[in-house]
């Protein structure tokens, strides 16, 4: 009956529903046994085939066994012993229970592995056969639409070059309709690569599909179509092997309230095959790296939000995984802890391939070697921060400060030097202008302003390149306009 309970548990995702249905099954089988089966089993004319049919259900088989036991110990009888079990039909009860135990455990294991209930990527229904004998459903071919040249080149590289540790190939995720809303395409035909010793930053507005992508890469969600190769292993076919070399820090902290930091690290370290002294060394090392050594005796329920986040990053990195996925690892950290964690990530990325999502442009510039800007489930731009600024930046920003009464005169002066300049704002004598790229040589601006600054009463001035934030906002704005038109 325990094996039967394991089998039933596969079909439930909520404890409460499972408990209620469990009680209903118990009560119903009690009522049926007592009122219907009791007379059938005790009737000597009942055919053996009916008794065997009843025994297929483990609760009824147990009831049959209890009836046999009752007959066996009846007053005045010879008593039930191992030698006369057959006289009471008890031998069949034992055989049925043992066989059912094995069959139900096997079925529970099989359904758990293949049925698409609950989280995780499920195995092919014929997973026990060699790979070549399993036919995979034909993937959808979602429309690729228009792509910028860098995204198209990234797609070409992903599909042709196999040397990269992470290759995402036409990954697509469509959530089924729910709560009165239609289906949602969260990731639309994504192709990209992440190189060795590279930290790839995923930037994008809320709901762009960043976490959905990470959840597919780590095997928590099954792609609707497409796939990804992690060190040559397929995220749908080889998820167990992939887990041995991957570390993940999900967007939501996944911690047990009653376990301490070291207990969490020991648990995940053992999953990564660390044992004995090596495990203890790694636990101490990662606790120290994320500054949690002093809090090692506290349970995670006593941790602050930032401490929980740091523990999740340590969990992702214990066991030296060669592929690391970090979904907003520094959310909720104070500036000092964030700086410390940046150092840890910068050091660790040298020995792995890392995908990191963040909403902080400062963090992206500090940690990431390449960035992908993700909008509406698609990559809108990809490249190094310098490339994105040069390619998508709108120009230079010129800031000039004068006493307020010279504001108009200064404005005219800027338009004389750079006729295509756009005034962005003006406040108490400080004015900011955007100077389009290639409209004027930077050296000319420097020369003229430096020469004229005293005559023009300029007290302060500066010229800066486009920031990553401006590039990000510009790409999002233009991509959203294109997607909605």
Ligand X SMILES: Nc1ncnc2c1ncn2[C@@H]1O[C@H](COP(=O)(O)OP(=O)(O)OP(=O)(O)O)[C@@H](O)[C@H]1O
Q: In what order do the strands lie in the sheet with 460-464?
A: 422-427, 430-436, 395-401, 460-464
Query: Is the Cβ of residue 219 or residue 262 nearer to Mg ion in the bound state?
Result: 219
The residue nearest Mg ion at its CB is: 211
Binds 188, which of Mg ion, ligand X, none (CB < 5 to 8 A, cut-off by type)? none
Task: For 73-139, give the DSSP string.
Answer: T-TTS----GGGHHHHTHHHHHHHHHHHHHHHHHHHHHHHHHS--SSSPPPPTTTTS-GGGPPPPPP
| 251 is a site residue for Mg ion (CB under 5 A) | yes
Q: How far is the CB of 313 from ligand X (least distance, A)?
A: 17
Distance CA 4, CA 59 (A): 9
Shortest CB 250 distance to ligand X, Å: 10
State the binding partner of 138 from ligand X, Mg ion, none, CB within 5 to 8 A by kind: none
Looking at the Cβ atoms of 208 and 324, the one nearer to ligand X is 208
Query: Cβ of residue 466: shortest distance to Mg ion, in angstroms?
Result: 26
Which sign, positive or negative, has the C-alpha torsion 353, 356, 360, 361? positive
Q: Which is nearer to ligand X, 53 or 207 (CB)?
A: 207
Q: Which two tokens mark 152?
A: 């198209």
Between CA 211 and CA 217 the distance in angstroms is 10
- Residues that bind ligand X in the complex, under the rule CB under 6 A: 175, 178, 184, 186, 204, 206-212, 251
Is 291 one of the binding residues for Mg ion (CB under 5 A)?
Answer: no
Q: Looking at beta carbons only, is 252 or 257 nearer to ligand X?
A: 252
C-alpha span between 166 and 144 (Å, rounded): 21
To Mg ion, the closest distance from the beta carbon of 201 in angstroms equals 14
Buried b (16+ CB within 10 A) or exposed e, 352-375: bbbbbbbebbebbbbbbebbbbbb
DSSP conformational letter for 369? S
Beta carbon of residue 329, minimum distance to ligand X (angstroms, whole number): 13
User: Nearer to ligand X by C-beta: 186 or 381?
Assistant: 186
| 3 Ramachandran zone, left/alpha/beta (phi>0; psi -120 to 50) | alpha
- Residue 184 contact partner, candidates ligand X, Mg ion, none, CB within 5 to 8 A by sort of partner: ligand X
Cβ-Cβ contacts under 8 Å for 15 (sequence gap 6 or more)? none
- CA atoms of 62 and 71, how far apart (whole Å): 14
Interface positions, 339-358, toward Mg ion (CB under 5 A): none
List the x/- string, 190-219, binding to Mg ion by CB under 5 A: --------------------xx--------
CB nearer to ligand X: pick between 253 and 320: 253
**Residue 360, interface with Mg ion (CB under 5 A)?**
no
Minimal distance in Å, beta carbon 203 to Mg ion? 12
How many angstroms separate the Cα of 156 from the Cα of each of 70, 172, 212, 391, 392? 75, 17, 23, 20, 21
Which does residue 438 touch among ligand X, Mg ion, none (CB within 5 to 8 A, set by kind)? none
Whichever of 188 and 211 has its CB closer to Mg ion, that residue is 211
In the complex, the smallest distance separating the C-beta of residue 116 from ligand X, rounded to whole angstroms, is 13
List contacts with Mg ion (CB under 5 A).
210-211, 251
């Amino acid at each position: 009956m325990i094996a039967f309970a394991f089998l039933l548990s596969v079909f439930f995702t909520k404890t409460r529903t499972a408990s209620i249905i469990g009680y209903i099954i118990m009560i119903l089988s009690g009522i049926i046994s007592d009122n219907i089966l009791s007379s059938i089993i005790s009737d000597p004319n009942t055919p053996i085939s009916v008794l065997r049919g009843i025994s297929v259900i483990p609760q009824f088989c147990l009831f049959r066994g209890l009836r046999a036991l009752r007959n066996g110990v009846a007053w005045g009888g010879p008593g039930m012993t191992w030698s006369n079990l057959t006289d009471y039909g008890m031998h069949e009860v034992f055989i049925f229970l043992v066989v059912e135990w094995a069959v139900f455990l096997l079925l529970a294991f099989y359904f758990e592995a293949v049925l698409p209930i609950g989280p995780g990527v499920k195995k092919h229904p014929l997973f026990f056969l060699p790979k070549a004998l399993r036919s995979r459903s034909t993937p959808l071919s979602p429309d690729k639409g228009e792509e910028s040249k860098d995204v198209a080149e990234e797609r070409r590289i992903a599909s042709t070059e196999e040397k990269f540790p992470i290759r995402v190939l036409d990954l697509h995720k469509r959530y089924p309709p729910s709560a009165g809303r239609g289906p949602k395409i969260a990731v639309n035909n994504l192709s990209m690569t992440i190189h060795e010793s590279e930290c790839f930053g995923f930037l994008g507005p809320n709901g762009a599909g960043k976490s959905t992508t990470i959840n597919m890469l780590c095997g928590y969600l099954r792609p609707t179509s497409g796939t990804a190769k992690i060190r040559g292993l397929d995220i749908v076919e080889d998820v167990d092997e992939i887990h041995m070399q991957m570390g993940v820090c999900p967007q939501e902290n996944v911690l047990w309230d009653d376990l301490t930091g070291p207990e969490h690290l020991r648990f995940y370290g053992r999953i990564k095959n660390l044992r004995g002294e090596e495990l203890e060394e790694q636990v101490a090392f990662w606790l120290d790296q994320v500054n949690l050594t002093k809090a090692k005796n506290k349970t995670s329920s006593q941790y602050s939000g930032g401490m929980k986040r740091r523990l999740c990053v340590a969990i992702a990195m214990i066991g030296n995984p060669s592929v690391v996925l970090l979904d907003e690892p520094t959310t909720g950290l104070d500036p000092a802890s964030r700086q410390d964690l940046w150092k840890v990530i910068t050091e660790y990325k040298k020995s792995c391939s890392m995908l990191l999502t963040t909403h902080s442009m400062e963090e992206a510039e500090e940690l990431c070697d390449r960035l992908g800007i993700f909008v509406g489930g698609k990559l809108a731009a990809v490249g190094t921060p310098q490339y994105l600024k040069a390619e998508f930046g709108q120009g230079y920003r010129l800031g000039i400060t004068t006493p307020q009464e010279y504001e108009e005169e200064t404005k005219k002066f800027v338009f004389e030097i750079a006729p295509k300049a756009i005034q962005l704002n003006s406040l108490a004598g400080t004015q900011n202008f955007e100077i389009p790229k290639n409209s004027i040589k930077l050296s000319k601006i420097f020369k003229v302003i430096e020469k004229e600054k005293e005559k023009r009463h300029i007290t302060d001035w500066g010229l800066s390149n486009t920031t990553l934030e401006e590039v990000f906002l510009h790409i999002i704005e233009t991509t959203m306009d294109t997607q909605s038109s």
